[in-house]
Structure formats: C-alpha cells, structure tokens
Structure 1
Amino acid sequence: MDQLDTSTIPIHDLAVIGGGINGCGIARDAAGRGLKVVLFEKGDLASGTSSASTKLIHGGLRYLEQGEFRLVREALAEREVLWTIAPHVVRPLRFVLPHHDGLRPAWKLRLGLFFYDLLGGRRLLPRSAAVTLAGGPLGAPLKPEYQRGFEYSDCFVDDARLVTLTARDAADRGADIFTRTEVVAARREGDLWRLTAARGGRRGQVLARALVDAAGPWAGDVLGALQLDAAARLRLVQGSHIVVPRLYAHERAYIFQNADGRIVFAIPYEGDFTLIGTTDRDFSGRPEEARASPEEIAYLCAAASEYFAAPIMPSDVVWSYAGVRALQDDGAGAAQDASRDYVLALDAPAGAAPLLAVLGGKITTHRRLAEAALDKLAGHLPMTAGSWTGTAALPGGDFPIAEFDTVQMLLRTRFPFLDKRIARRIFRAYGTRAFRIIGDARTLDDLGPWFGPDLCRREVDHLMDREWAMSAQDILWRRTKLGLRMTPADAAALGAYMDTRSSGVAV
C-alpha cells in the first residue's frame, strides 16, 4: 500500500475491515449502490473461516429442530439466488439421509423435510423424497442395516472462489481492495473515520464516512482496538473437516445423524476425494492457528464409519482443515447449538461517524446480510440505488443455469487442445471468463509453462493480476484446490515463478 496523503485523496463513503464472505459481500453491495468503498484484509481473501466451510449453500436441517425458522427460511431462499448468479461455482446437490433406527424416528425426518421444502420458496431444486437404500447404488457404500432413508436438495459451493469473485465484482464496480493490509489504528474525527493501514512496513491513511467491522473471528480484536465494548458478544467455535480418497462412485452426498446430536456430511469433492465434516467445539486462542486436532479427526472417522461399510481411519486422511466461526453468544450450552444467525450492531453516536459490527452469519446468507448491513447504514451514506445483488451475475456467471453444459462444451469446441478434465475445472472456476484467460492460445504450449499437469502460466497470471493471489498457497488451497494433486516440486516451481513477477502487480 502506498503512503497516502489524506489532504489530497477523496473521502471514502465506506471502509470495510475483513476480506471474508461477509466483508466482500458488503463491499460489493455498497459499490453497486454508488458508494466509494475501500476494503482491508490483513491476510489473503478467504484465508480464514470463509475457506474452511463445509462448502454448502443450505438451509440447515438441524436449525429447524432448534426453532430458527427465520434463519432457515432466509437461507433456503438464497440457495437458488446464489445458484442463479454464480452457476459456475454453485451447483445443486442431492443429499441422502439414511434412517438410523436408534435416533430420530422416520416420521420426524419426513416432517422436517416437508417443512424444508415448504419454507424455501423452491422453484428449481427437486423436492425431498423417500428412498430405498437396500440393493441400490445409494445403499451400496453403507452398512447393510441401513435399508431406507430420504433424500433432499441443497447446493455445493466453492467457498473461497465465491469470496474472490465477490471481491472481483466489487472492484469492477469501483471498490478499492487491499489484501495483506492490516488496519492498525482507527479513530473518529467528527463525522469521519481516520484509518491507518499497514502493509510490508509501509503505512497509509484513509478517511471514511462509515466503518464496518467484518473481521469474523477477529472482530472482537478490532472492536477492542477501537475501545468499544462488544467483544464479549462473540462465541468462537471451531469446525474441522477431513478429506479422504473417494469413498463411492455416485455423485450424491450423505448426511449422517450421530448419537451426540451432531450431524456429519460426506460430500463428493474435487473428483477423486470425499469431504467429511464438520465438528463443533468451543475455541480459544488465535484463530489463524486453528488446526484439526487428532481428536476431531478421529471423531469424524468414527462418525462416518458408523454408516460406511468400509471403515475410515485417520491414516486415510489426505488433508484436513479447520476454521473458527465467530457466532453470536446466545448462551447456548453446546457449541453445535449456538445460533448461526447474524447480528448487526450499529454504534452511531449523534454527530459521529458510524461503526457497524458484523457478528455471526454463514456463507449461505452473506448476500442478505450485506443488504441488511446497507439498510442499517442507509441514513449515514449517500446511496444512489437500492438492493440489486440478487439478480446481477458474479464474474463469469453471466449465463443461464440451463445452459451450463452448453457453455462448457463451447469452451472445449473453441479450445479443442484442452483436456476434458482441465476444461471442466477451469470452467467451474471461472465460467465465461475462462475464454478470456485462455485467450489466443492455440496449443497447450501456448498456455505454459505448466506447474504439474493441471495449472498453466496463463491461469497463474490471471490469478495474480485479477484475483489478488500473491503466494503459491493462495492459488493451491484457495483460488483452486490443486494442492491436493500437486507435487512439492511443482509447488516450489509455482512459488518461484510467482516470486519473479510479484512486485508491482496491480489489481
């Protein structure tokens, strides 16, 4: 970040701290309403909770049981909205719920799914149904005692890509996005905030009419630094996931009930793997140091092995990750019972610049959270438009859902030298912008050099130039999940290439 002289730069309408899904969603919405926006993220985009989710756009069946009908209704309605505006990174997924004789009775599951269908305003997703597991492909991976069950629809999302595309759209609409840039000081000066931000030993200042703290599990730290007493309202809960080699051939996911009241998902992941999660346990410490513990890994293996015929062992795990959710502290006893709803706490003393603190929330409801945040700030900011994000495509998502296969095939027709697997991955990541990335290439060599069999120089250049990638980690584990396949030597070559062109790259 360059040294800034606040006497010569324009005043921003809105400053956002936090480059996760909520911060980027608010920045995008605000930029589209005609506001001048700046966003600061101290790490990489989606480097915290927003890349450590279960990768689902869903209503949350268990939240029905907890009586959170407003949250479930809002989340269910968002499934098709997000699928429509980002059909390349969001896709429908059917979930199989085996009936466990010792847990919830079948009538209760059927009733819950009836309300799940009813609440969500479902138009495109198939309704829930009873299924026979015995003797069929859905029951083949399971133990023989699971004879029947149910299936229903939700959506899968590439969470970190959703964050990056949201930030890209905000920037395309005029927002300034600064990653690796930490806000180290903020103070009110009448009706403005003066923020001091630091990157790599350099500091700069900006002025803003309003400030949003969307730092997720670090929100309490930000509020504490501003000497505002709101940090006690946060409850930090860790969720961990494991990835194992693919457990079954079909494309449905499973949702498993556990005797302790938790649920665990098993989801087809990145073609060759199965994603299993999540856990819920209270967390203390530094959120950036969260790791899946041996106990959590063992728990997930045991929970899945209760249902799958072939036992899953910790030695089968090829990757694990953990994220810390910043939830509203509603006094719930168990971590899994804490509300996933969001709270927007506005501090706006008369004659002083407002501060909006974002507490809680989930990736599914980020767009609605952003709308609610802008509604809260409406009296303090010169907005020129109302809500708009529910119909505007994210970058690369400017095609109808029904034409996904057609547009993907057009990519292969235009660039026949692309391997089917590579073309599919690139299209799912970038949508129609894949055509721009490949550009005038006529052979695979035109795209190179290649870092392993799946990642080419042109894609890396795009990620650095347009998507704020600065390290191999950013690309291998957030912009893509190629870290699951890339060798250490290929990863080192990627890092060396990025180092040679990292200075002076503008986005």
Structure 2
Amino acid sequence: MEQYDLLVVGGGINGAGIARDAAGRGLRVLLCEKDDLAAHTSSASTKLIHGGLRYLEYYEFGLVRKALQEREVLLDAAPHIMWPLRFVMPHDAAQRPAWLIRCGLFLYDHLARRRRLPASERIQLGSHVAGKPLQASYRQGFVYSDGWVNDARLVVLNAIDAAERGATILTRTACVAASRHGDGWQATLQGADGKQATVHARAVVNAAGPWVQQLLGGVIQAPASKAIRLVKGSHIIVKRLFDHPYAYIFQNPDKRIIFAIPYEQDFTLIGTTDVEYHGDAAQVAIDGNEVAYLCQMSNRYFTRQITPADVVATYSGVRPLLDDDAANASGVTRDYALELDTDGAPLLSVFGGKITTYRKLAEQVVDQLAPLLGNTRPTWTAGKALPGGDLPGGDFDAFVARLQADKPWLPAALAQRLARAYGSRVHTVLGAAVSLADLGEAIQPGLYEAELRYLVEEEWATCADDILWRRSKLRLHLPAGADAAVDAWLARYRGHAAVQGSSQTAS
C-alpha cells in the first residue's frame, strides 16, 4: 500500500496550490482529481487577478486587501500567464454616483501596496481611445488597474511544480472511499478504467470545490459545520468589439457588474452572471436567459450591438461560495473558510475561495496541517516563480524578442503563443528543433507534434478538450474537425507508446 503524508482530493486551483506548497515543504503528497486538472470551476472564471472592486460595497475590506496583496505576488510569479490590465468604467449617472465611485477607487488604490500597477484616474471618454466603442451618452469614466490570468494554465503550473517537488498527481482518478485507520487514513482511488487502488495518508485535504460537502457526507462520512452555496457564472465570447488593450467594467441597473475583456486577440469575453444553481455541478451550462442578459448589458454600453447569433462560444462554471446567508447570489462572500477536524487523523476541508487568493489559502492550509505531521519548514511560495515564470526581469516582451532572435524560423504568431503558454519552458517544448520540420507534423494549423507530446508527457493531457480548451484556447481559432484530428493523433500516440512499452518489457 502506497504511503503518503497528505492526500489532496481535488485538482482545481486550491487543490493544486495546496499540493505545491506541501510538496515544497518536504511532505509526501498525493493529489487525485476525478476529471482533468481545472476541469470545472477553475477554468470557468472571468480570468482576473483582482481585489474585487465591487466587494467594497459589501464592506469586505479584509478580503479585498488580502486579494490586492496577492495580486502583486501572483503577477510576479508567472508573467507569461498573468499580466496587468487597465479597466475602464464608464460613468452612468443613473447608477452609482461619481463621488462614491471615486471613493471606492481611492480605497482600492490604497488598501494594499502597489509596486507595478498605476493608480486609478478619471477620464473624458470623448477624447480617450477607450471611449470610441462606447455609446456617445457616456462622456466620463474612470480607469483603474487589476490583472489578467490564464486560469486553467495557472492550475497546471501549480501541479507541475508540485510534481517536480515530489508530489504524485493522478488525474481521472476519483477518491471513492476514505476512512480513518489508526493514526492515518485509508483511501480507495478509482481510475477511469475502473481499476481501484488503496493508499494510506496521514492527513486528508478535501479541496473538492463544488463537491466538498458531497465528499464529506458520502465518501468520508464526516460532519461539517460550514456549507457552500452553488452559484453559476456564465460567459459569452464574441468577435472583437474593440481594438485597444483596455478592458471594461459595466455597472448595470440590477447592480450587477459585467466585464468586457480583450480575449485571445480576436475576441471579446463578456461576463459573468450570478445564478443560484441546484443541479449537477459537472453538467453546468449557460441558458438562453443568461445569453440574452449578457448581450443586453453589452448593448447598453457599446455602439456595436450584439445578439445571441453573434456568440461564438460560451462557458459556465459553478462557484462553491461559502454560505453566509446573503439575500442574493451576487452578495455571497468570495472569502473562504478552512475547517480542520482532528478527531483522529487530520481532515481539513476548504469552503469557498477565489482564484486570486488561492496561494494564501494553500499556505494557510499547510500551516495548519504541517505541524500535526511533524513538519516545521517555513512558508516559501510567496517569492518563488511558477514553472516558466522565471523570465529575466519579469519582462515578457523582451523574452519573446529574444526567442524570435534565437529561433528566426519560428513564425512570430507561434512564438508569441508558445511563449505565453510555457514561458521559459518553451525551450523544453521546442527541444533541439532548428526548423519547423523538427517539430513534427502539424496536426492542426500552428499545432505541432512536439507541443502535443509535451502536453501529454508533462501536463497530463489525455484528450482534445484538455488540449484545445484548458491547456490552450486553440479551439476558438481552429477549423471544425480540430477535436477529431487531435483525438486521432492521441490514439496513435498512445498506441505507439503501448507498443514501445511492450517491447521494453519483452526485452
């Protein structure tokens, strides 16, 4: 029976962050995820590293401050998948008054130290580039700073770092039973093929996100004093609505906030909704009312009007928010709570949270568990780059320029995409290649075998959805049939690997 210090159940951002932190402190860690890494909530965010400007209205100053502090830490850790973004808020006199917005932005600027992000300012939309796509009735606005993140890749990078520090990462592996035995836990894990294995761990972390209560009530059969509230957030993707690098934050009559963000060069991402959800968290999907709502909110501000027919893609996720008895979904806290059960071998459950504060959450989890496991190593993640994030001076543009100078045979658009995805590890993806031909067959335009092999061997990718949606957003750019082509290549690759494995065994 395999022996571990810590079994982490859940391969979203919290679980991956906890595994990374714990492995870096020398604990023997096993993470299991029933689907793919970031398969659910953690790949369905609005993809922002932010303090949460609107949370100030709910007096959540502590949460906003904590998130703003983490914003700076994360932007330093992975400049290839995270970068600063300026947000424009057109002022609608029928909504929040200008003085209130200015006060809120002043707090937002000063609740935590800013090293790399400029302060907020008031602008005249008639003379500002961000005013051109907007309806003429919006004449004044405000600009403030936050950050952008490739959310699914953030999860994968944490998992990679955890694995390189000794953790075992098992995707498509569900924890189907767990019980205390003596001074530890005995857990049964089941793979996608139905095969089961038993492992022993000294402590368990329940980071199952939307399934945190189900895991407690069913698999673990342990009580919990806290609860989560499932809230569906949906987004739509349309062809690009503006040609500048600013994002927008829109105030709406229902007091909801909607973002419109430059996305994947050719698109605009619009979201999110807040809808109470009571269905299967694995089957969440946008509905017609949400699509219509997001189109309507976009049309209140932009001159270019959109309809549901203009939507090229959508995604939805269920946010497992800490239930604080708020009257409506928008008001539910985005903070988190940790529940430690030491009635026997330790069990720690994570309730709530947001992507911006995942690193701090992980640190606090390991701070609580490590002493119980005889581990006294100090915290370490605040100053460490994530895999690929060790760019000289944190300068992504300079890194891309050097990459193109070193590899002039690499098309500029491909160099930019690969650098954004892999950072300094792009050299591992490219290997010893000195020409495009060395990257193997182009399975789809701009997607070569070398990258596919890397994703399978280093990033736990097993199907087209992993590759074309979570590890990248290539599905938005590739022609119909791309999924089938990638799955066909994966089948050939697995068959070849199986033959090689048999040959080595026979010899």
TM-score range, shorter chain: over 0.9
Q: Which residue of 2 aligns with 1:325?
A: 319
Which residue matches 1:446?
A: 438
Instruction: Letter of the 1:227 partner, please give it.
Output: Q
Which residue, 276, 279, 285 being the options, matches 1:285?
A: 279
User: What does residue 224 of structure 1 align with?
Assistant: 217
Equivalent residues in 2 for 1:13-32, closer than 5 Å: 13-32=5-24
Which residue of structure 2 lines up, in the alignment, with residue 34 of structure 1? Answer: 26
* Contact residue 223 and residue 231 of structure 1 kept, 8 A: no
Q: What amino acid sits opposite 1:317 in the alignment?
A: V
Aligned amino acid, residue 97 of structure 1: M
Judge conservation of contact 1:27–1:167 (CA < 8 Å) in 2. Answer: yes
The answer on whether the counterparts of 1:84 and 1:401 sit within 8 Å (CA) in structure 2 is: no
Match of 1:109 in 2: 101
Any stretches of 5+ residues in structure 2 without a counterpart? 501-507
Q: How does 1:49-448 map to 2 (within 5 A)?
A: 49-199=41-191, 200-225=193-218, 226-230=220-224, 233-349=227-343, 352-448=344-440
Q: Distance in 2 between matches of 1:332 and 1:189?
A: 39
Deviations 1:331-371 (A, max 9, x none): 0010010000000011111xx10110100000000000001
Q: Distance in 2 between matches of 1:174 and 1:285?
A: 37
What is the CA-CA distance between 1:477 and the residue it aligns to?
Answer: 0.4
Counterpart CA distance in 2 for 1:26 and 1:490 is 34
Q: Give the match's secondary structure for 1:502.
A: helix
Amino acid of the structure 1 residue aligned with 2:18: I
Q: Deviations over 1:102-135 (max 9, x none)?
A: 0001111011000001012111111111111014
Quote the offset at 1:401 in angstroms: 4.8
Query: For 2:122 and 2:392, how far apart are their aligned partners in 1?
Result: 30
Q: How big is the shift at 1:441?
A: 1.3
Q: Which of residues 446, 458, 468 is equivalent to 1:466?
A: 458
How far 1:476 sits from its partner (Å)?
A: 0.3
2:76 and 2:394 in contact (8 A); partners too? no
The count of corresponding residues between Structure 1 and Structure 2 is 496
Residues in 2 aligned to 1:502 and 1:264: alpha-carbon distance in whole angstroms: 43
Shift of residue 439, structure 1, vs aligned partner: 1.6
What CA distance in whole angstroms lies between the structure 2 residues aligned with 1:22 and 1:402? 25
Distance across 2 between alignment mates of 1:165 and 1:402: 17
Q: CA deviation at 1:402?
A: 4.5
Residues 216-258 of structure 1: per-residue CA shift (max 9 Å, x gap): 0011110111222338611000000000000000000000001
Would the aligned equivalents of 1:241 and 1:278 in 2 still touch at CA under 8 Å?
Answer: yes
CA–CA distance in 2 between the matches of 1:277 and 1:120?
26
Q: Distance in 1 between matches of 2:112 and 2:253?
A: 28
Contact 2:390 2:424 in 1 (8 A): yes
- 8 A contact 2:160–2:459 mirrored in 1: yes
1:207 alignment partner AA: H
Give the whole-Å Cα distance in 2 for the aligned partners of 1:65 and 1:421: 42
Counterpart residue type for residue 204 of structure 2 = L
Give per-residue Cα distances to partners, 1:430-477, cap 9 Å, x unaligned.
Answer: 000001211221221221211222211100100000000000110000
Structure 2 SS opposite 1:138: helix
2-side partners of 1:277 and 1:71: how far apart? 22
Q: Which runs of 5+ in 1 are unaligned?
A: 1-5
Give the letter for the 1:154 counterpart: D
User: What CA distance in whole angstroms lies between the structure 2 residues aligned with 1:295 and 1:239?
Assistant: 13
Distance 1:140 1:344 in 2: 46
After superposition, what is the alpha-carbon deviation per residue over 1:256-280, rounded to whole angstroms, capped at 9, x for unaligned?
Answer: 0011111000000000000000000
Q: Equivalent residue of 1:322, what SS?
A: strand
Which amino acid in structure 1 is aligned with residue 301 of structure 2? Y
RMSD: 1.3
Equivalent position amino acid for 1:315 in 2: A
1:170-220 superposed Cα distances (whole Å, 9 cap, x missing partner)? 000000000000000000012100000001121101111110000100111
Instruction: Report the residue type matching 1:273 in the other structure.
Output: F
TM-score, normalised with respect to structure 1: 0.96
Q: Distance in 2 between matches of 1:369 and 1:316?
A: 39
Candidates 491, 494, 500, aligned match of 1:502:
494
What is the rounded CA distance, in whole Å, between the counterparts of 1:341 and 1:207 in structure 2?
A: 32
- Percentage of pairs with the same residue: 53
| Deviation for aligned residue 1:82 | 0.5
Q: Supply the AA of the counterpart residue of 1:453.
A: P
Read off the aligned partner of 1:329 and give its amino acid letter.
D
Residue 86 of structure 1 contacts residue 394 of structure 1 at CA under 8 Å; is this kept in 2? yes
Write the letter of the residue equivalent to 1:271. Answer: Q
**Partner Cα separation in structure 2 for residue 227 and residue 239 of structure 1:** 29
Displacement of 1:80 = 1.4
Q: Distance in 1 between matches of 2:139 and 2:389?
A: 40
